[in-house]
Structure 1
Amino acid sequence: MGLEGCARAAGSGVREATLGRSVSVRGAGLHTGRVARVTLAPAPAGHGIRFAVRCPVTETSTEVPAVASGWVASRMSTSLDLGRGRKLRTIEHLMASLAASGIDNAAIAVEGTEIPILDGSASRWCALIDAAGRVPQERPRQALLIRAPFQVNGMHGFLRAEPGEGFSVDVSTDRLPGFGVLRWSGPIDPASFRTAIAPSRSFGNASLIWRTLLKTRLARTLLPAPTIERLWACSFAAQTVCAAAGPEPTPARPDCERAIAPETQGRMQPRDREPLLRGARPGRVAILLGGRVLGGARFPDEPVRHKILDLVGDLALAGRPILGRIVANCPTHALTFAFLTELMRHPDCWEVVPVAEAEATGRGTTGTDCGAIGTT
Structure 2
Amino acid sequence: MAEVTFQHTVSSPVRFAGIGVHTGAHARVVVLPAPAGVGVVFVRTDICDQDNRVPVSGEAVCKTQLGTVITNAAGVTVATIEHLMAALVMVGVDNALIEIDGPEMPIMDGSALDFVHGLDAAGLTRQGKLRQYIEILDLVEVIEGDKRAALRPADGFEVAFEIAFASRAIGRQAVDLKMDGEAFRRELADCRTFGFLHEVEALRAMGLARGGSMDNAVVIDGDEILNAEGLRRPDEFVRHKALDAIGDLFVLGAPVIGRFEGVLAGHALNNAVVRALLASPHAWRMCTLAPQMAEAV
TM-score normalised by structure 2 residue count:
0.93
Computed over aligned residues only, the root mean square deviation of the Cα atoms, in angstroms, reads 1.9
Aligned-partner Cα distance in 2 for 1:139–1:340 = 25
Aligned-partner Cα distance in 1 for 2:242–2:194 = 13
2:193 aligned with 1:202: yes
Partner residue of 1:289 out of 192, 214, 221: 221
Q: Which residue of 2 aligns with 1:126?
A: 116
2:212 aligned with 1:280: yes
> Does the 8 A contact of 2:65 with 2:267 survive in 1?
no
Give the deviation of 1:80 after TM superposition.
0.8
Q: Which residue of 1 aligns with 2:128?
A: 138
Q: Which has the higher contact order (CA 8 A, sep 6+)?
A: 1
Specify the code of the residue in structure 2 equivalent to 1:301.
D
Q: Which residue of 2 aligns with 1:49?
A: 40
Residues 296-331 of structure 1, C-alpha deviations (whole Å, 9 max, x = no match): 111111110010111000000111111011111012
2:248 aligned with 1:314: yes
Q: Which residue of 1 aligns with 2:163?
A: 173
Aligned-partner Cα distance in 1 for 2:14–2:202 = 37
Aligned-partner Cα distance in 2 for 1:345–1:59 = 34
Give the deviation of 1:207 after TM superposition.
1.3
- Tell me, which stretches of 5 or more residues in structure 1 are unaligned? 1-5, 216-273, 367-376
Aligned-partner Cα distance in 2 for 1:100–1:35 = 26
Partner residue of 2:9 out of 18, 32, 36: 18
Deviates more, 1:298-307 or 1:170-179: 170-179
Report which of the two has the higher share of strand: 2
C-alpha change, 1:84 and 1:49, in structure 2 (3 Å) is closer
Give the deviation of 1:154 after TM superposition.
2.0
Aligned-partner Cα distance in 2 for 1:298–1:164 = 30
> Does the 8 A contact of 1:141 with 1:356 survive in 2?
no
Specify the code of the residue in structure 1 equivalent to 2:99.
A
Give the deviation of 1:176 after TM superposition.
5.3
> Does the 8 A contact of 2:20 with 2:27 survive in 1?
yes
Aligned length: 294
Query: 2:296 aligns to what SS in structure 1?
Result: coil
Specify the code of the residue in structure 2 equivalent to 1:181.
R
Give the deviation of 1:175 after TM superposition.
3.5
Q: Which residue of 2 aligns with 1:371?
A: none
C-alpha change, 1:293 and 1:19, in structure 2 (3 Å) is same
2:25 aligned with 1:91: no
Q: Share of identical aligned residues, percent?
A: 32
Q: Which residue of 1 aligns with 2:28?
A: 37
Q: Which residue of 1 aligns with 2:150?
A: 160
